[in-house]
Amino acid sequence: MTELIKLIIDGIIFIFPAFVANAAPVFLGKGERWNAPIDGGRVWKDGRRVLGNGKTIRGFVGGTLSSMIVCVLILALANQFSYSLALMGYIEQGLLYSILHPLGIDFWTNKVFLGLFLGFLLGCGSLIGDLTGSFIKRRYGLQRGESFPFMDQLGFIFMALLFVFPVIPWPLYWLIFLVPLTLILHIVLNLGSYIIGMQEVPF
């Protein structure tokens, strides 16, 4: 049981920067600077917006940077728990390791660089997953704020895990607890943001 708990904690710590990236745009305020929509107001061939006004440059950049900062902080504290050893073990199984290690390039020994790199992958993956969900919603004629079950709650987490997999081939059994945990946290955090007035809808 102790080993199982450790594995669950490692998985949660690993994916936490992706959660931060996904949530950060809600807390970045509504100033005009860098707040232009990513799609530039363009419409798709179906006559609907590509993404919509809710997906902004500010949100994407801010979310990615937030993920990178959090990941660096996690690795700075990694000596305090088993996560550091587990992470290194996964890295050594990855495609990037197999390519770079024989060349003598061991970037993962620098925790700051590793944190920035992994945080970038998790943050970008998370936000691109969110953008993908918005793109699909627009194609179905759903407007900003309308619910799209499962895509809204899980799209970002799957894309983040996909982005980071070549570097860290995380164990697939993590999905057993990460999927339900993500669903629960998404509901709780969005409801909380709605209650305190930080977003217009509770989902």
CB of 114 closer than 8 Å to CB of 75: yes
What is the pLDDT, as a whole number, of residue 128?
95
Is the separation of the CB atoms in 86 and 43 below 8 Å? Answer: no
pLDDT of residue 126: 95
Amino acid identity, position 18: A
First to last CA, the chain: 34
Q: What is the pLDDT of residue 2?
A: 75
How confident is the model at residue 31, as a pLDDT? 56
pLDDT at 66: 95
Q: What pLDDT does residue 11 have?
A: 86
The answer to whether the CB of 67 falls within 8 A of the CB of 128 is: no
Rounded to an integer, what distance in angstroms lies between the CA atom of residue 114 and that of residue 102? Answer: 18
Domain boundaries, the chain: 2-195
CA distance to 19, 30, 94, 125, 150, per residue, from 201 (Å): 19, 16, 40, 24, 16
* DSSP per-residue letters across 115-143: HHHHHHHHHHHHHHHHHHHHHHHHHTTPP
What is the full per-residue pLDDT of the chain (203 aa) written as tens digits? 577 777 788 888 899 999 999 888 777 655 555 678 888 889 998 888 888 888 888 899 999 999 999 999 988 887 655 565 567 778 888 888 888 888 888 877 888 888 999 999 999 999 999 999 889 988 888 777 677 777 777 889 999 999 999 988 988 888 998 899 888 887 777 676 667 665 666 55
